[in-house]
């Protein structure tokens, strides 16, 4: 096992990994930027190293600087957490060159699976269902060829970046007249976000569900899956809420999808923890979407229903240990839900919210888990991802898990900044979510409800002002009438009348 690890990340995921290191008796080191001088992860690590200025490109994404710190700290391995660095082929390759173990897959596997076109071809050869579409990159100046592909598979189609994710470099096209412009936009966005302008075309699935399988693979050919996570509550292709098991999953479906996930890992020569993602249509046909070659934000959902510490398994595999777990050992027990708590304002189009956390009360009690990178008095910076914490619950049944999540969300108090807590409460109270009858388009309706509620708030506020003004006016009129009919006024009038 490793003696010392560098955690090259920040926020709640850095804290999560540092805790695992502490429990395993591994000395830990981490990095911090100007904006994170007092961040929580710097307090949990045994050693901390300054990485640079606040923007990500000047700090947590500086590959050469991170390697230099790793050498200076004399670590055995680097854990990148999640984010772009965790899926960066160059970073994994630099670790290999410098004899530092990268806690994740090797650079070749990252390169293969990070390229959606190459990975799609690999899955097709392995007999794994993929979404219909073009097999190669759409080249510049070949609009007619792109139109031909789109017409062959049928509109609507999806333009996708070959080298990235998170909704960047993606465009839905419903008519051929929009195709050329959408390809250009997607290509420019992909180049800006990932440094790779390549895009391809595939069929756009209307109202699908997004279901992924967590896998573990050691260096000796042993591969298992840990069941599925339902990730269909999304906004702009970004996951907001995850749960396990999926409300639509059957034993037969889980077996088929799980086997496909394991096969996808084997044909890619992949090792360590990873996630195979699928899209599921209305008829419950599933298609390979992509493979995330890293630890997922939502990994604790699987930990709660399986009892397996995925981070510890990562460290064991990376250090050369064989998987002790077998597929028959994996059972899903109960139901788990995760809400991503972000520093955003849902009533204002989810605009990021920054500032000092003036009050923090975290929920607790049976079956409640909080993964957090904040504390009372912490200044939330503007430079990084708005995710500040993850709230998870476990219960014997899905119905109980939803009730527990609602209770925990009511308990959760974060003041000083705007957060997504109230948004998550809206979802938990939504009948379609409660019934498990939702898909990737579901969130648009919830956001619409938020906007409706906001308008109601605005109308109520205006009504309150008008009401206050009317009340003040009525009070003034009553006072005036009372004043005019007061005993002194009446006596004065009578005196005048007597004089006349």
End-to-end CA, the chain: 113
Task: For residues 17 and 84, state if they share a domain.
Answer: yes
- 479 token code pair: 């006072």
Among 131, 127, 134, 137, CA closest to 161: 137
Res. 466: pLDDT tops 80: no
Task: For residues 192 and 213, state if they share a domain.
Answer: no
Res. 470: pLDDT tops 50: no
142 pLDDT tier (thresholds 50, 70, 90): confident
Asked if the bond preceding 245 is cis, omega within 30° of 0, the reply is yes
In a domain, 121, yes or no: no
Task: For residues 304 and 213, state if they share a domain.
Answer: yes
Task: For residues 225 and 325, state if they share a domain.
Answer: yes
Res. 454: pLDDT tops 70: no
In a domain, 269, yes or no: yes
Q: Which residue has the higher pLDDT, 463 or 73?
A: 73
Which residue range(s) make up the domain with 234? 209-450
Average pLDDT, the chain: 89
Q: What is the pTM of this model?
A: 0.85
Domain count, the chain: 4
Res. 475: pLDDT tops 60: no
- Considering 184, 203, 222, which residue would you say is the last residue of a domain? 203
Task: For residues 64 and 139, state if they share a domain.
Answer: no
Res. 448: pLDDT tops 80: no
Alpha carbon distances (Å) from 195 to 23, 95, 161, 238 = 38, 21, 11, 20
Task: For residues 384 and 432, state if they share a domain.
Answer: yes
68 pLDDT tier (thresholds 50, 70, 90): very high
Res. 143: pLDDT tops 90: no
Section 56-69 average pLDDT: 93
Distance CA 249, CA 148 (A): 36
Task: For residues 265 and 397, state if they share a domain.
Answer: yes
In a domain, 340, yes or no: yes
In a domain, 273, yes or no: yes
Task: For residues 481 and 413, state if they share a domain.
Answer: no
Section 109-115 average pLDDT: 90
Q: What CATH code is carried by the domain that includes residue 379?
A: 3.30.470.20
pLDDT of residue 169: 82
Task: For residues 272 and 295, state if they share a domain.
Answer: yes
Residue pLDDT, tens place only, 170-192: 889 999 888 989 998 998 988 88
pLDDT of residue 461: 45
Section 322-348 average pLDDT: 97
Q: What CATH code is carried by the domain that includes residue 167?
A: 3.30.1490.20
497 pLDDT tier (thresholds 50, 70, 90): very low
Residue pLDDT, tens place only, 228-248: 999 999 998 899 999 999 999
Section 210-226 average pLDDT: 98
Query: SS3 string of the chain?
Result: CCCEEEECCCHHHHHHHHHHHHHCCCEEEEEEEHHHCCCHHHHHCCEEEEEECCCHHHCCCCHHHHHHHHHHHCCCEEECCCCHHHHCHHHHHHHHHCCCEECCCCHHHHHHHHCHHHHHHHHHHCCCCECCECCCCCCCCCHHHHHHHHHHHCCCEEEEECCCCCCCCCEEECCHHHHHHHHHHHHHHHHHHHCCCCEEEEECCCCCEEEEEEEEECCCCCEEEEEEEEEEEEECCEEEEEEECCCCCCHHHHHHHHHHHHHHHHHCCCCEEEEEEEEECCCCCEEEEEEECCCCCCHHHHHHHHCCCHHHHHHHHHCCCCCCCCHHHCCCCCEEEEEEEECEEHHHCCEECCEECCEEECCCCCCEEEEECCCCCCEECCCCCCEEEEEEEEECCHHHHHHHHHHHHHHCEEECCCCCHHHHHHHHCCHHHHHCCCCCCHHHHHHHHHHHHHHHHHHHHHHHHHHHHHHHHHHHHHHHHHHHCCHHHHHHHHHHHHHC
Residue tagged active-site, from 10, 171, 209, 294: 294
Instruction: Answer yes or no: 171 catalytic.
Output: no
Task: For residues 79 and 157, state if they share a domain.
Answer: no
Residue pLDDT, tens place only, 272-282: 999 999 999 99
Angle at 480 between CA 476 and CA 485, to 5 degrees: 150
Task: For residues 472 and 438, state if they share a domain.
Answer: no
In a domain, 42, yes or no: yes
34-38, 350-354, 476-480: the lowest-pLDDT one: 476-480
Task: For residues 351 and 222, state if they share a domain.
Answer: yes
């Amino acid at each position: 096992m490793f003696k010392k690890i560098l955690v090259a990340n920040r926020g709640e995921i850095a804290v999560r990994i540092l805790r695992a290191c502490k429990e395993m008796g591994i000395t830990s080191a981490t990095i911090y930027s100007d904006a994170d001088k007092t961040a929580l992860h710097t307090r949990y690590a045994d050693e901390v190293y300054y990485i640079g200025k606040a923007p990500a490109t000047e700090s947590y994404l500086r590959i050469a600087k991170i390697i230099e710190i790793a050498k200076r700290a004399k670590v055995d391995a680097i854990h990148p957490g999640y984010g772009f660095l965790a899926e960066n082929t160059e970073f994994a390759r630099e670790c290999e060159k410098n004899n530092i173990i990268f806690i994740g897959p090797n650079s070749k596997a990252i390169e293969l699976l990070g390229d959606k076109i190459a990975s799609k071809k690999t899955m097709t050869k392995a007999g794994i269902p993929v979404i219909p579409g073009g097999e190669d990159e759409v080249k510049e100046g070949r609009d007619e060829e792109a139109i031909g592909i789109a017409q062959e598979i049928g509109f609507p189609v999806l333009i996708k970046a070959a080298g990235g994710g998170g909704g960047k470099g993606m465009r839905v096209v419903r008519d051929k007249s929009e195709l050329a412009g959408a390809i250009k936009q997607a290509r420019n966005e992909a180049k800006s976000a990932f440094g790779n302008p390549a895009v391809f075309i595939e069929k756009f699935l209307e109202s699908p569900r997004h279901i992924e399988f967590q896998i573990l693979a050691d260096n000796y050919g042993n591969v298992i899956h840990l069941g599925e996570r339902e990730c269909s509550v999304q906004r702009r292709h970004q996951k907001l809420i995850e749960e396990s098991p999926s409300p639509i999953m059957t034993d037969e479906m889980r077996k088929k999808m799980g086997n496909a996930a394991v096969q996808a890992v084997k044909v890619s020569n992949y090792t360590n923890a990873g996630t195979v993602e699928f899209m599921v249509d209305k008829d419950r046909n599933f298609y390979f979407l992509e493979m995330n070659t890293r630890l997922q934000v939502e990994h604790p959902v699987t930990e709660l229903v399986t009892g397996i510490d995925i981070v510890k398994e990562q460290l064991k595999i990376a250090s050369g240990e064989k998987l002790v777990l077998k597929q028959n050992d994996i059972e899903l027990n109960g139901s788990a839900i995760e809400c991503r708590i972000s520093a955003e304002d849902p009533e204002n189009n989810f605009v990021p919210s920054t500032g000092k956390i003036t009050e923090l009360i975290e929920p607790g009690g049976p079956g409640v888990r909080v993964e957090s990178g904040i504390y009372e008095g912490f200044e939330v910076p503007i430079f990084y991802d708005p995710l500040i914490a993850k709230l998870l619950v476990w219960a014997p049944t899905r119905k109980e898990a939803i009730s527990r999540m609602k209770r925990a969300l009511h308990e959760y108090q974060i003041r000083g900044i705007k957060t997504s807590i109230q948004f998550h409460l809206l979802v938990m109270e939504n009948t379609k979510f409660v019934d498990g009858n939702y898909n990737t388009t579901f969130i648009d309706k919830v956001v619409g409800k938020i906007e409706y509620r906001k308008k109601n708030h605005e109308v109520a506020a205006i009504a309150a002002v008008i009401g206050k003004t009317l009340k003040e006016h009525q009070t003034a009129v009553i006072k005036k009438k009372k004043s005019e009919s007061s005993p002194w006024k009446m006596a004065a009038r009578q005196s005048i009348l007597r004089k006349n």
